Amino acid sequence: MPALGTEGLKGASMASTLPLENMTLEEKLQAMESLWADLCSRAVGPSSPAWHMDTLAERKGLLARGEDQFEDWDKAKRKIRNTVS
């Protein structure tokens, strides 16, 4: 299956499905990244639930106290891929 860009899903109806059982892990991750990129590119979206603010405040506190740290997204994706493959 070729790489799926955000243009690969545009115009697809809700009945469209991906052949998940035939896709490699890399293809599935690329599809997820394409979906996420498309969702992020739209200015209007659903509002976050109220508990998100609580979670963000908690994590901000952990960072401020030095009890947590950020990780580079590309590094995190590599770790995930290495864990599941």
Q: What is the pLDDT of residue 11?
A: 52
Give the domain range for residue 23: 1-45
pTM over 0.85: no
Tokens of 26: 């890399």
Q: What domain count does the chain have?
A: 2
| Residues 8 and 40 placed together within one structural domain of the fold | yes
| Residues 40 and 60 placed together within one structural domain of the fold | no
| Residues 36 and 65 placed together within one structural domain of the fold | no
Express each pLDDT in 12-26 by its tens digit: 555 578 899 999 999
Nearest CA among 52, 12, 51 for reference residue 35: 12
CB 9 within 8 A of CB 32: no
| Residues 55 and 37 placed together within one structural domain of the fold | no
| Residues 36 and 59 placed together within one structural domain of the fold | no
| Residues 4 and 29 placed together within one structural domain of the fold | yes
Express each pLDDT in 37-78 by its tens digit: 988 887 676 788 989 999 999 999 999 999 999 999 999 999
Q: What is the pLDDT of residue 6?
A: 43
CB 34 within 8 A of CB 5: yes
